[in-house]
Structure 1
Amino acid sequence: MTLSAGVHLDRLAVVEECGLGYATDFAVLVYVTSSSTKMQKLVLRADFPPRDQYELVVEFSLDGRELGGRLTIDTQVVVFNPVTVAPFAPASNGSIIWRESHSTYLEGVGSQFPTDSEDFAITRPASADAAWTLRVDTSDMQALFVSAVRLTLNSGSSAVANMLRGSKAPASMALARFLEVDITRQLVEVALNCDEVAAESVEDSDEETVSAVLRSLLSTIWPGVPYETLRRWRDHDPARIDSQIQHARGLGVG
C-alpha cells in the first residue's frame, strides 16, 4: 500500500507564532499504527528546505503483512535545531508544533490478519494459476489470531496485481469482493469444524484468539443463531450457509 499527501509550511508565520528564529529546522514525521498486528513505527521523515513557503509531498509504502484492523496515520511537523527568540518557544529537538491523525478500519475480515503477496509461478508452480491461498493454523486455538492466519495473494496473476494496485475497474472490484467472500467461507468452514469454537462464549471471549475471532465471525453473520444450528445447516442445507455468507459480504451488490 502506497500513500502520499502534501504538507504546507508557512515558515514566516510559524516562526512568528512559535517564537523561533528563521534558521530553525522543520521536518515532517509520519508514524503508523496497526491495531491487529500491533505494528507501530516511524515510516517517514522529510525535512523542509529553508524557504518562506514550501509544499512538501510525502510518500511512503506500507507492507501488507504488517497491516490489519484499525490503521492510524499520525503526521507531525516537528522542530530540530531550534533557534529560540522568545521565552515560550519550543527549545527541544522533536518538539511538535503541528499534528494531524487519521484512522480507518481496513475493510473486511481479511484485514484482521497479515497479508502478503508472491508470484505463485515461482514459489508454488503447481498452483501457478491460483489467485490466493489462506492458511489457518488450528493447532492452538488460544493463539493470537493474527499469528495463526495468513493470506497470500498471487502477484503473478495480472488480475490480482491490478487489484493490489487499487484499480477501480469493475473486474478488480468484483475480484476483491469475491476474495472477501472466499476468505469468509473458508474461515466459517474452519469454525464449524472446531469444538473449541463451539465452546467459546460470544459475550466473554477474548477477541484476539483464534477460537474467539472465529466465534465472533459466526455471530456477526448469524446473530443469535446457536452454533449447533449452524452445524446442522452446514451438514444438511449448505446452500443456506453459502448464500448468507454472500449476503454478508455484499457479493450481489453492484
Structure 2
Amino acid sequence: MSVVHPYRRPADDVVRATPWTLAGELTELSDDLPDWDYDTVLPLRRTLVVDGARARKEAGLEDDAGLAVSVRWTASGSLLRGRAWQEQVPPTDGVELAVEFDLPGRDLGGTLTLDFVLVLTDPGSTTSRIAPRRPGSVLWADRRDIRLRGDATQFPIVVTDFAEVGYPSDAPWMLDVNGGLEDAALGSLLLLVNEKRKSVVDVVTGRAAGDPARSAAVLSMLRSETLRGLVERAVVDEAFDVSAEYPTGSTGAVLQAVLRQHFDDDLESLRREHTQEPAYFAARIQAAAGLLKEET
C-alpha cells in the first residue's frame, strides 16, 4: 500500500545510493549476519549522490531551504535506537557523500533496521502551498533490515496458549524477565505471545504485511510494554547498579543500555518516581518508547 504525503516530494532518483557494505569489504552487506555477537562492531559504509538543487525544485522549495540526509538505526533486540550519521545537502546537483559510521555491538541485537532519509530541516522562503514546511518532513527514504544472529542476540519470542500455562487468557503478551543480572539476556528475557490473539501473532511472526498501519500500531505498543518491563526490572531490583561492570550480553548490561538510552535521570530518581508517581512514570515510559508516534 502506497503512502500519500500531504506535500510535494521529489522523484526517487534525486538520491542514488550504493549498497551497504562493511569497512574493508567489497561485497554488499548480507541481510543475515549469523556470526555476529555483542563484541562485534559494525563498520557500515555507503556512498550516495544527491541532487540538492533538483530535490528542492521538485518539492516546491527555494534554494535557501535546508535539506539533510541522515541514517537512523533501530535494534529490536536491545530496544535501542539513534541517529548514526547526518550531513547537510547544498543546493547543488551531483553532490557525492561518503556515509561512514560504526555501531557498537553492545547496543544492538535482533534485527538492525537502517533508515536512510532525506529530510527538510528549514522550509526557507518558499511560498508554495504544497511544499513541505515542517522540519523533519521526509522527502526520500530507504530502509534496510539486517538480521543479527549471534548466540546471544535474538530477543526470544514464544507463542503459547495463555490459558494452558496459567496466564490471563485474554492478555496479548507478557514479558518474562527472570534470572540474575549477570546471566545471559538470551536465557533471562522471554516475550510470551498469546496464540489466541491471532492478529498479534500475525504481526510478531511477520504474517501481517498486508496491513502495515495495524502492524505498526501493534509493534509500537509491544515495544512500549517491553521497555516498561525492562525499566521496571531495573528500578525494583535493589541489586541492580547502573555503573556496575556486567558481562557483555547479560541482563544487567541490557538494562544499563536501556536506561542510558532513554533516561537522563539517575537510578535513584527513577526509583522514587516509580514508587511515588506511578502514573507519571508510566507516561514517561510511553514517551521514551515513542508509543503510537507518527513518523515524520
| TM-score normalised over the length of structure 1 | 0.53
- Equivalence for 1:216: 257
Q: Is the 8 A contact 2:33 2:146 kept in 1?
A: no
- Equivalence for 1:13: none
Sequence identity, in percent? Answer: 26
Residue among 110, 120, 130 paired with 2:162: 120
Q: Is structure 2 residue 193 aligned with structure 1 residue 153?
A: yes
Mapped partners of 1:114, 1:34: distance in 2 = 18
Residue among 272, 275, 282 paired with 1:242: 282
Mapped partners of 2:290, 2:111: distance in 1 = 23
- Equivalence for 2:230: 187
| Aligned residues between the structures | 161
| Bigger share in helix | 1
Mapped partners of 2:147, 2:284: distance in 1 = 23
Mapped partners of 1:166, 1:34: distance in 2 = 29
**TM-superposed deviation, 1:228:** 0.6
Larger CA Rg, structure 1 vs 2: 1
Which whole-Å deviations, capped at 9, do the CAs of 1:118-175 have from their partners, x for residues lacking one?
2335x3365332211221114x221111111111212321221331313334333211
Q: Is the 8 A contact 2:38 2:248 kept in 1?
A: no
Q: Is the 8 A contact 1:135 1:151 kept in 2?
A: yes
Task: State the SS of the aligned residue for 1:150.
Answer: strand
Aligned ranges 1:1-254 → 2 under 5 Å = 33=34, 35=36, 69-70=109-110, 104=146, 113-121=155-163, 123-124=164-165, 127-138=168-179, 140-163=180-203, 164=205, 165-167=207-209, 168-197=211-240, 199-201=241-243, 204-223=245-264, 225-254=265-294
| TM-score normalised over the length of structure 2 | 0.46
Mapped partners of 1:36, 1:179: distance in 2 = 25
Mapped partners of 2:286, 2:35: distance in 1 = 28
Mapped partners of 2:109, 2:258: distance in 1 = 14
Please provide the CA RMSD for this pair.
3.5
**Larger RCO (alpha carbons 8 Å, 6+ apart):** 2
Runs of 4+ with deviation above 4 angstroms: 34-38
Q: Which runs of 5+ in 1 are unaligned?
A: 1-29, 39-67, 73-101
Mapped partners of 1:171, 1:117: distance in 2 = 19
Compared with structure 1, are the counterparts of its residues 133 and 37 closer, same or farther at alpha carbon in structure 2 (3 Å cutoff)? farther
Q: Which runs of 5+ in 2 are unaligned?
A: 1-30, 40-107, 113-143
